[in-house]
A and B are shown apart, each in its own frame.
Chain A
Amino acid sequence: MDSHSDMGRTSGKDTQEQTEFRQYCRDWLAQNKPGEPPVRLPLTALEIMTEAQMAYLKSWQKAAYEAGLVGCDYPESVGGGGRTGCQRIANEEMRAARTPFFPNLVGLGMAAATIYYHGRNELKERLLPPLFSGEHIWCQGFSEPGAGSDLASVQTFADQRGDKWIINGHKVWTSLAHFADWMILLLRTDKSHKYEGLSYFVVPIRSNLGKGVTVRPLIKMTGETGFNEVIFEDLEVDDGCRLDELGKGWQVAMTTLTHERDAGELVTPAAGGMRNESAFNATAIALPGLARNAERDDGTAADDPLLRDRIVQQFIREQAIAQNMRRSRIPALQDHPMRLPLQNKLLMSEVAQDTANLAMDIEGAGASLYVGDSNAPAKGQWPKSYMNTFGFTIAAGTSEVQRNILGERVLGLAKSK
Chain B
Amino acid sequence: MAQPDNFGFGEEAALLKESARKFFADNFPTDQLHVLVATDPDPYRPVAAPWREDLWRQMVELGWTALAVPESAGGVAMPLSAVAGLVEEAGHAAFPCPLLGTLNTIYVLSGCGPEGEAALSAIAQGHAATLAITNRQGSWDVSRCDVRLAQNSLDGTAWYVQDAGKVSHLLVSAYDGERLCLYWVDVTAPGVTVTPDAIIDLTRDQAHVTFQNVVVDGQRVTEVCTDAVPVLKAAMPAIWTLLAADMVGAGEWLLQTTTEYARTRQQFDRPLGFFQAIKHPLVNVMIEVDKSKSLVYNAACAFDSEPDKATGYAHMAKSAASDMASFGSSRAVQFHGGIGFTWECYVHLYFKRQKHSQLFFGDGPWHRRRLALSLIDREAHAG
Chain A residues in the interface with B (C-beta under 8 A): 1, 3, 7, 10-13, 288-289, 291-292, 302, 305, 308-309, 311-313, 315-317, 319-321, 323-324, 326-327, 329-330, 332-333, 339-340, 343, 346-347, 400, 403-404, 406-408, 410-416
Q: Is the pair B279, A407 in contact by a Cβ cutoff of 8 Å?
A: yes
Whether A403 touches B365, Cβ cut-off 8 Å, given contacts A340-B290, A413-B271, is no
Given that A13-B4, A400-B280 are known contacts, is A308 also in contact with B291, CB under 8 Å in the complex? no
Instruction: Kindly list 6 other residue pairs between chains A and B, CB separation below 8 angstroms, not including A311-B375, A404-B279, A404-B280.
Output: A320-B294, A330-B6, A333-B293, A407-B280, A413-B271, A413-B282
In the complex, chain B residues 2-17 whose Cβ is within 8 Å of any chain A Cβ: 2, 4-7, 9, 13-14, 17
In the complex, which residues of chain B have a beta carbon less than 8 angstroms from the beta carbon of A12?
Answer: 2, 4-6
Whether A309 touches B369, Cβ cut-off 8 Å, given contacts A327-B294, A330-B9, A403-B279, is yes
- Hey, which chain B residues are within 8 Å of A315, CB to CB? 316, 371, 375
Is the beta-carbon distance between B309 and A411 smaller than 8 angstroms? no
**Is A324 a contact partner of B291 (Cβ separation < 8 A)?**
yes
Q: Are A406 and B286 in contact (CB under 8 A)?
A: yes
CB proximity to A under 8 Å, residues B305-337: 309, 312-313, 316, 319-320
Q: Which of B34-89 contact A (CB under 8 A)?
A: 85
* Chain B residues positioned under 8 Å from A413 (CB to CB): 259, 262-263, 271, 273-274, 278-279, 282
**Bound-state Cα–Cα, A411 to B278, Å:** 12
* Contact across chains for A414 and B5 when beta carbons are under 8 A apart: no
Instruction: Return the chain B residue nearest A308 by Cβ.
Output: B372
A333 vs B376: C-alpha distance when bound (angstroms): 32
Give the distance to chain A from B278, nearest Cβ to Cβ, in Å: 8
Bound Cα distance from A316 to B371, whole angstroms:
10
Known contacts A332-B9, A339-B286; A407/B273 CB under 8 A: yes
Interface size on B, residues (CB 8 A): 54
Cα A30 to Cα B26 in complex, Å, equals 56
Answer whether residue B276 sits at the interface, using C-beta atoms and an 8 A cutoff. yes
23 cross-chain CB contacts under 8 A: A1-B312, A12-B4, A288-B375, A288-B379, A292-B379, A302-B380, A308-B376, A312-B376, A316-B368, A320-B295, A330-B9, A333-B9, A343-B286, A343-B287, A403-B276, A410-B286, A411-B283, A411-B286, A413-B273, A413-B278, A414-B274, A416-B274, A416-B276
Contacts of B184 in A (CB 8 A): none
How many angstroms from the CA of A118 to the CA of B249 in the assembled complex?
A: 41
CA distance A182 to B237 in the complex (A): 54
Closest 3 CB pairs of A and B: A413-B273, A12-B5, A323-B294
Secondary structure of the A contact surface, majority rule? helix
Chain B's closest residue to A343 (CB) is B287
Smallest CB separation, B265 vs chain A (Å): 11
Interface presence of B374 (CB below 8 A): yes
- Would you give the shortest CB distance from A111 to chain B, in whole angstroms? 29
Interface residues of B (CB under 8 A from A): 2, 4-7, 9, 13-14, 17-18, 85, 259, 262-263, 270-271, 273-276, 278-280, 282-284, 286-287, 290-295, 297-298, 309, 312-313, 316, 319-320, 365, 368-369, 371-372, 374-380
Find B13's partner among A302, A332, A347 (CB 8 Å cutoff). Answer: A332
Known: A332-B9, A339-B286. A292 touches B294 (CB 8 A): no
Decide: A1 near B9, CB < 8 A? Known: A316-B319, A416-B276. Answer: no
Chain A minimum-CB-distance residue to B294: A323
Give the chain A neighbours of B17 by CB distance below 8 A.
332
Q: Which residue of B lies closest to A291 (CB)?
A: B376
Are A324 and B290 CB-contacts (below 8 A) given A11-B5, A319-B316? yes
Docked pose: A291 CA to B380 CA in angstroms: 11
Nearest CB on B from A408, distance (A): 8
From B282, B287, B295, B375, give the contact of A1 (CB < 8 A).
B375
Q: How far, in whole Å, are A138 and B66 apart by their CA atoms in the complex?
A: 59
Given known pairs A404-B279, A413-B262, the reply for A316 and B273 (CB within 8 Å) is: no
**Chain B proximity of A361: nearest CB distance (Å):** 15
Q: Which residue of A lies closest to B323 (CB)?
A: A313
CB distance from B35 to the nearest CB of A (A): 27
B375 touches A312 (CB 8 A): yes
Tell me whether A411 and B273 are in contact (CB under 8 A). Answer: yes
* Contact A407/B297 with A311-B372, A329-B6, A340-B290 known, Cβ cut-off 8 Å: no
| A259 CB to nearest chain B CB (Å) | 22
Q: CB-CB < 8 A to B371: which residues of A?
A: 1, 312, 315-316
Distance from B149 Cβ to chain A, minimum over Cβ atoms (Å): 36
Instruction: State whether A309 and B262 are in contact (beta carbons under 8 Å apart), knowing that A326-B294, A410-B286 are contacts in the complex.
Output: no
Which residues of chain B come closer than 8 Å to A323, judged between CB atoms? 291, 294-295, 297-298
- Residues of chain B contacted by A312 (CB below 8 angstroms): 319, 368, 371-372, 375-376
Q: Which residue of A is nearest B18, CB measured?
A: A332
Contact call A407/B283, Cβ cutoff below 8 A:
yes
Nearest CB on A from B76, distance (A): 19
The answer to whether A316 and B320 touch across the interface, beta carbons within 8 angstroms, is yes
- Decide: A313 near B380, CB < 8 A? Known: A10-B5, A333-B9, A414-B263: no
CB-CB under 8 A from B259, the residues of chain A are 411-413
* Contact present for B273 and A339 (CB under 8 Å): no
Which of these, B276, B297, B374, contacts A333 with CB under 8 Å?
A: B297
A292 proximity list for chain B (CB < 8 A): 376, 379-380
The interface residues of chain B lying within 8 Å CB-to-CB of A346 are: 287
Let me know if B365 and A324 touch, CB within 8 A: no
Cross-chain contact B290 with A316 (CB below 8 angstroms) = no
Q: A288-B376, A320-B295 are in contact. Are A309 and B7 (CB under 8 A)?
A: no
The answer to whether A326 and B376 touch across the interface, beta carbons within 8 angstroms, is no
The answer to whether B263 and A412 have CB atoms under 8 Å apart is yes
Cβ contact of A327, chosen from B284, B297, B378, cutoff 8 A: B297
Contact A330 B291 (CB under 8 A): no
A407 to B282: give the CA distance in the assembly, Å. Answer: 8
Cβ of B293: which chain A residues have Cβ within 8 Å of it?
A: 327, 333
Most buried by B among A308, A346, A412: A308
- Which chain A residue has the least Cβ–Cβ distance from B376? A288
Docked Cα-Cα span, A265 to B171, in Å, equals 51
Q: How far is the CA of A11 from the CA of B373 in the complex (A)?
A: 30
Give the nearest-CB partner of B296 in chain A: A323
In Å, the complex CA distance between A406 and B217 comes to: 60
How many Å from the CB of B356 to the closest CB on chain A?
A: 22
Which residues of A lie under 8 Å from residue B372 when comparing CB positions? 308-309, 311-312
Bound CA–CA A403/B61 (angstroms): 45
Could you tell me the distance between the alpha carbons of A333 and B365 in the complex, rounded to whole angstroms? 27
Known contacts A311-B372, A320-B320, A410-B286; decide if A1 and B271 are in contact (CB<8 Å). Answer: no
